[in-house]
A and B are shown apart, each in its own frame.
Chain A
């Protein structure tokens, strides 16, 4: 047999609470991160991502405390992203209880952070988080919570991240995020073909068929979901079952 395809649940966290917005805006409170993470594990989520969308210094401390509390109760991998600026930030997040760290804006500003992190902690815990938006025939990289446009081409940038030491790519389509009309299959396919590390597709999940499509037709190793499971539009159990029934190898919980 071989690796199963993963379903990853992302929790946007601000001031210790899970929030969800549409296209990076309009935040609503959806619950307690530790309780939600545990519930998703029971339902069969393969991983949890905490994305720290508060950017201030004191909020970093809240996130590390949250990581500590979560790691003692969660027994599937936990990735922490958002606000990771330095290799010391990575060390603090990993030490607190994260298994992997996501870097986004800091990697664009200083790509060496990925190399240094991979050397110190191993490539398997460095996740390059890329927010991409369609721009003509290609996709442009945005940073700072999708607010700042860069000159980077998303596919080229993904390749460079891997060359620099990233062990995974978390690829979010800004166009699709929160819209629930399906993942950006073309973007996902272009990136998954360009790199040799696992690609996690993010942004756009509305129904189970979207998750299946991004794995079958987008070449994604993993699909990230947020809003649809927080709102109860779909359940993690239901999504995993749909993947299983579509003939995709997934881990099923008893």
Chain B
């Protein structure tokens, strides 16, 4: 399985790359958005700010959106999940628009949200199989989907309930960092990859 980690040029991808590796899996980093879709699974990592990431996406946005619409499995993490939406209050630029809705600031006085939060009201068996009940977050912005039926788990930060995860088929976005959520987080990544291998 070819796994491509789209590299916007910000921050630490070591842990995520390591989390994705395994028997029969080939993980590569790709900075060109158009070239990134030539893969079996596209991973949008979660480090950096929306505007520079949207800029890195620019030339290949249509190619990426079309590939995902045509069935390319895609895992978006934190900022990567936010890029699956249309736009963000954090900065200018367009997301992929795979999911309808905007990214807005958490409606709480204490931001950023940094730490481990519980995953609530999940209806996706990926969480149960991974035993992922508490996950690590580091974010000030969250996704507000137009259609809440795409939400597969929720979390709440000081009264603001927001999507912990969204899913449409093999397109999964998570606001938390599975690669920083210890063993259950790694199990979540592996369950996702298993799901793609054995649909």
Complex-state Cα separation, A125 to B49, whole angstroms: 11
Residue in contact with A254 in the complex, picked from B115, B131, B185, CB distance below 8 Å: B131
Query: Which A residues are CB-close (under 8 A) to B115?
Result: 3-6, 46, 198, 221-222
* A1 with B12, Cβ < 8 A, contacts A41-B182, A124-B138 known: no
B58 within 8 Å of A (CB atoms): no
Minimum CB distance partner of A198 in chain B: B114
Task: Determine the chain A residues whose CB is within 8 A of the CB of B157 once the complex forms.
Answer: 2-3
Nearest A residue (CB) for B19: A75
Classify chain A: how many residues form its interface, as a range: 35 or more
Closest to A68 in B: B14
Q: Are A1 and B183 in contact (CB under 8 A)?
A: no
Q: Given A71-B18, A99-B12, A254-B131, A122 and B48 touching (CB < 8 A)?
A: yes
A6 CB, nearest partner CB in chain B, Å: 5
Q: How far is the CB of B12 from chain A (nearest CB, A)?
A: 5
Which one of B68-76, B105-113, B143-151, B167-175 is at the interface?
B105-113
Contact with A along B101-137 (1 / 0, CB 8 A): 0000000011111111110100000000001001011
Q: Inside 8 A of A72's CB, which chain B residues have their CB? A: 14-15, 18
| Given known A2-B157, A75-B185, contact A46–B15 (CB-CB < 8 A) | no
Does B10 count as interface, using CB distance less than 8 angstroms? Answer: yes
A94 near B12 with CB under 8 A, answer yes
Assuming the A-B contacts A4-B134, A99-B138, A254-B131, are A74 and B15 also in contact, with contact meaning beta carbons closer than 8 angstroms in the complex?
A: yes
Chain B, interface size category, equals 35 or more
Q: How far is the CB of A243 from chain B (nearest CB, A)?
A: 13
B117 CB to closest chain A CB (Å) equals 5
On B, residues with C-beta under 8 Å from A are 10-12, 14-15, 18-19, 47-49, 109-118, 120, 131, 134, 136-140, 155-158, 177, 179-183, 185-186
Known contacts A121-B47, A251-B134; 18 further A-B pairs (Cβ under 8 A) = A1-B117, A2-B156, A3-B116, A3-B157, A71-B14, A75-B19, A76-B180, A77-B138, A95-B11, A99-B12, A121-B48, A122-B47, A122-B48, A122-B49, A125-B11, A197-B110, A222-B115, A251-B116
